[in-house]
Structure 1
């Protein structure tokens, strides 16, 4: 087996019972090209290209896939694309944010949360979503305390429709509360922004899951000069014992292979 794969580097995501590859595949670019903050434009891949990308990800040892209702048609596309291979993937989706007519709107109510999860189950053609995160608008504490979204996700977990739940938030306070009352937090962590590190510290101490978004600063870090910015980013992330996996949203097969190679090299070196 090539050293440049992640097959033997999977790890538990906190105490969720899920085992994940240290890199996950983000799928914004499979479903949406409006209102996205990337340094360069892109074209949404067609089904053949998307299928090849997913096959390459699996070949490289990636088993984690991240989607959301706010990612345009990402969920609807993934259902058929993953058909026959559902068991090979740990699927993360979201609730709370809808993206319609080029605009985001947010609804964290119990009724919408349940509606959203059941719609995601249909779209993804599965009877259980591995992890559902609340797609925060930034008001993390108010959402968790006042909206009823977390109790609803806990009900859906008891019903077996989801395996674990948490928050994709923007604040340290929100991340800490999300972990105290749930299973996982998705935090921003990269060379430019480390303000949510206390959330990862809490997760490491309490056996909770951490996923990292914007690990490469939405691609902006790739514009840096000098050292390999991807490798430097992964050295920062995987040095932390709380980090389970970093979600990377590339649709470029060469970038995906390079990311996996860099992550595998960093993790193996850190283990020595």
Structure 2
């Protein structure tokens, strides 16, 4: 299956499946809609989803300290399968349910990494990423966060350094030479960082994609919420649906195939609190779609 094809994660020895799993929704209220639509699942359902992800053959799980119960649930339900997945987490934005807070100081980052190791029930996290907040320039300027991550790397607690960012901050991260992997927001609906995806490829930096399905807007789940979209997004999705003769299921195919054909994309993080949705993403990626249709989709968005 295309979604289970592996791509090298930057210059590392890791081989990540093209479809990865974003573990935000299994730990924190999030998503398209309201009420129960955005509530995180029960413990049992979260465990079922995580094990289903691995059963399907997906080998990358991305979480964060700020995803509330996510790290703990990963440790609780799939720590015993640790050899089956690349584990990525984030530091800098910290959980204080129901909220989060930012602290990028040296000791805060060291403590956060130790806490993540404990919750995830592992002795090493494969990829630790900076979870930037409102003042990313300051974080890079003072260097404490990177220094703490490098020290944790020397101690064998993390293997690769990454950053979840975009725009000018992402470019600074690339130019710094400090990072093995960048996580970028990129999709048919938002291509402003496309040049950065390609620059990462040129520099041998792995690329994880967040928002590749437009936070649910490039899936059938968007249909009941069309009237709540901003005019620009509404126009783009309407144009895509017209291209697809109204078949909202094929939005997923179109969105994922757009990303799949970019060799600089390592893995697309598709999150869900429903195991059936994860399986459906893999299946939709398999459907045939003409390259010219992808070109048209780019043109209308």
What TM-score do the two structures reach when normalised by structure 2?
0.81
- Post-superposition Cα deviations, 1:55-83, rounded to whole Å, max 9, x if no partner, equal 22122220111111111111111111013
Q: Whose radius of gyration is greater, 1 or 2?
A: 2
The answer to whether the aligner puts 1:234 opposite 2:256 as a matched pair is yes
More divergent stretch after superposition (250-259 vs 207-216): 250-259
Contact 2:2 2:18 in 1 (8 A): no
Out of 173, 198, 201, the position equivalent to 2:198 is 201
Q: Where do residues 152-191 of structure 1 align in structure 2 (5 Å cutoff)?
A: 152-169=148-165, 171-179=166-174, 180-191=177-188
Residue 104 of structure 1, CA deviation: 2.6
More divergent stretch after superposition (142-151 vs 213-222): 142-151
Out of 284, 288, 299, the position equivalent to 1:262 is 284
Query: C-alpha distance in 1, partners of 2:188/2:15?
Result: 26
Q: Where do residues 33-182 of structure 1 align in structure 2 (5 Å cutoff)?
A: 33=29, 36-40=30-34, 41-169=37-165, 171-179=166-174, 180-182=177-179
Runs of 4+ in 1 over 4 A off after TM superposition: 264-267
What secondary structure does 2:160 align onto? strand
- Post-superposition Cα deviations, 1:137-160, rounded to whole Å, max 9, x if no partner, equal 153333222241112211211221
Query: C-alpha distance in 1, partners of 2:288/2:50?
Result: 23
Q: Kindly tell me: are residues 37 and 143 of structure 1, through their superposed partners in 2, closer, same or farther at Cα, counting changes over 3 Å?
A: farther
Residue 90 of structure 1, CA deviation: 0.7
What secondary structure does 1:181 align onto? coil
Question: What residue is the counterpart of 1:251 in the other structure?
Answer: 273
Give 5+ residue unaligned stretches, structure 2. Answer: 223-236, 245-249, 292-301
What secondary structure does 1:259 align onto? helix
Question: What residue is the counterpart of 2:225 in the other structure?
Answer: none
Q: Kindly tell me: are residues 60 and 264 of structure 1, through their superposed partners in 2, closer, same or farther at Cα, counting changes over 3 Å?
A: farther
Tell me the matched-pair count. 261
Q: Kindly tell me: are residues 123 and 266 of structure 1, through their superposed partners in 2, closer, same or farther at Cα, counting changes over 3 Å?
A: farther
Query: C-alpha distance in 1, partners of 2:50/2:2?
Result: 17
Contact 2:68 2:97 in 1 (8 A): no
Query: C-alpha distance in 2, partners of 1:235/1:155?
Result: 39
Contact 1:141 1:173 in 2 (8 A): no
- Post-superposition Cα deviations, 1:81-132, rounded to whole Å, max 9, x if no partner, equal 0132111111110000023243331111111110000100011110000001
Residue 45 of structure 1, CA deviation: 2.4
Residue 266 of structure 1, CA deviation: 7.1
Give 5+ residue unaligned stretches, structure 1. Answer: none
What secondary structure does 2:187 align onto? coil
Query: C-alpha distance in 1, partners of 2:157/2:179?
Result: 16
Q: Where do residues 206-217 of structure 1 align in structure 2 (5 Å cutoff)?
A: 206-217=203-214
